[in-house]
Structure 1
Amino acid sequence: MTRIDETFARLRAEKRKAFVAYMMGGDPDTETSLKVMQGLPGAGVDIIELGMPFTDPMADGSTIQLAGQRALDGGMTMDKVLDMVRAFRSGDATTPIVLMGYYNPIYARGVDRFLADAVLAGIDGLIVVDLPPEEDSELCLPAQAAGMNFIRLATPTTDDKRLPKVLQNTSGFVYYVSVTGTTGAAAAQASDVAPEVARIKAATDLPVIVGFGISTPETAQSIASVADGCVVGSAIVKEIGAGKSVADVLAFVASLAEGAHRG
């Protein structure tokens, strides 16, 4: 079992929903970013999604695009992202970390080298949004062979014909994108999400976590109540981008986590 599998087993035993927090590695700078990351578990975060900054983040809205650009402008690299993970792991051996991003930086590094480095750093899973199931041999299968979960996204346009292909070789959890469009583009509605989550859960035993369009504790609670948990990204990144202190960012995260756990 990976740390992700162990976390969901624990949450099921505790009858709690999962709260997943996304942050961009290196935003606004390496030191601040690491301090935020190190504070997330204490703020109630069950799983950390760490963004790999990339110049062409096609799935992301302006908030996360700008965060990635700030990180790149500050000199963030894949090596430095992995350094962040190693630094985090020196004080936390249990919280799962999922790298989220795009295939180009991984391809440029070389899949074998990337996976070896990621495993040694302490990465538990990958979300690579621009690699479809048809390309599983490229990264998904090697990642799973290396002991990492490969987490796939399902969307409102993933119909019953496509869903089995999306679920094939997926592990850890299924990330359901609650709205069409980019991150931060619209608000998620539990009434829309509930039947889609039920449809996915009828086809897999994996937990279903809902992301995109969640920015308040109330929305986190309502969405988590109809799924196995929720992800918040843009709302957290926006607080960081506004120059809020680490303490203020973590207080905001804690309010979101409390909402999700109430779900």
Structure 2
Amino acid sequence: MRILCIGDVVGSVGCNFLRSKLPTIKKIKAIDFVVCNGENSSDGNGITPTSAKFLFDSGVDVITLGNHTFRRKEAYEYIDESPFIARPANFPEKTTPGTGILNIDTGRRIISVINVMGNMCMDNNLNCAFETVDRMLEKAEGKIKIVDFHAETTSEKRAMGYYLDGRASVVFGTHTHVQTSDCQILPKGTGYITDVGMTGTIHSVLGVKTEIIIEKLKTKLPARFDLASGDCKMECAIFDVDEKTGLCINSEALRIE
């Protein structure tokens, strides 16, 4: 089975570029299942029902989220009701809209998608990511298990990869918007990449106009994050998973412009 994992889609610019490229990539690469991080898919951070529907209509099967999940209150009910959106599982279960694990029945197989957020340098007091992912794995019904680990530091992401090695089919990192060069298969058979990258404007700072971020870093003052325009990229990774074992047999990082 060929699984495509797409890095953080930034705003309408990223959404439109994804729509222009995804159908062709799915056809050329014979993709069976698409997971996309959409926590920044709405202009001005967060996700809205409109941006989520746009991604689904473009060919995405499952949307994962992150630290900007609940920026837009108009999305709360949609996240809570959608069977194809996973939010970080380490938010409090009883009071947080949505779920941290999806068991997707594709007709031929069940695919479990888990979303977990890191603790290091993330300015949150969420439950331990490692304990949380263990709880989610107990709820996973599929042989194929995909984990989006939305985290800041490469050390925490690498640690999570090895922690899940042999227990998850794929672990892909999101949040830092810069694709890393370590797309690989770990020793026990888990496909892994520290950060799958970003879908949005190439000449930007994480999708935002460069001059805004530079000024904010220099002055330390708040700033409105306006999206950059121009040529775009879609950074992603393809993982081939053996359906009998649930383990990865091939991995490939891509940058599509």
TM range (shorter): 0.3 to 0.5
Relative CO higher for 1 or 2, CA cutoff 8 Å, sep ≥ 6?
1
Pick the structure with more strand per residue.
Answer: 2
- TM-score, with structure 1 as normaliser: 0.46
- TM-score, with structure 2 as normaliser: 0.47
Pick the structure with more helix per residue.
Answer: 1
